[in-house]
């Protein structure tokens, strides 16, 4: 017995991403995670909070999808807009990922 005995329980719980969702996850990790994911370098903090809001479960309908699209493109008081840093296709790819980001 050993480490390679079978699939990990975490793998069984995590839905597989493919195509555009996976591409969106890569863009999210590259461009958004710095502010929207908790800091990993705080081992003594049991619940580290990100600078920006956590986005898991945020895009759940057309209204929140449009709100996310506007925030990504135009920015907010605490977030820069990415209308010049991301193509419209990249924004849509990130939103595709946010729809399944739990």
What's the average model confidence in pLDDT over 76-97? 96
Tens digits of per-residue pLDDT, 8-43? 444 444 567 789 999 999 999 999 999 998 877 777
Candidates 32, 30, 42, 98; CA nearest to 65 is 98
Residue 83 CA to residue 73 CA, distance in Å, equals 4
Candidates 70, 87, 88; CA nearest to 79 is 70
Residue 61 CA to residue 79 CA, distance in Å, equals 22
pTM of the full structure: 0.77
């Amino acid at each position: 017995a050993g480490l390679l005995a079978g699939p990990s329980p975490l793998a069984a719980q995590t839905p597989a991403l493919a195509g555009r969702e996976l591409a969106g996850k890569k863009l999210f990790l590259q461009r958004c995670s710095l502010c929207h994911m908790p800091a990993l370098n705080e081992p003594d903090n049991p619940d580290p909070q990100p600078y920006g809001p956590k986005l898991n479960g945020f895009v759940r309908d057309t209204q929140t999808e449009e709100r996310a699209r506007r925030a990504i493109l135009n920015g907010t008081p605490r977030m820069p807009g990415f209308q010049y840093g991301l193509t419209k296709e990249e924004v849509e790819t990130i939103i595709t990922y946010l729809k399944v980001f739990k």
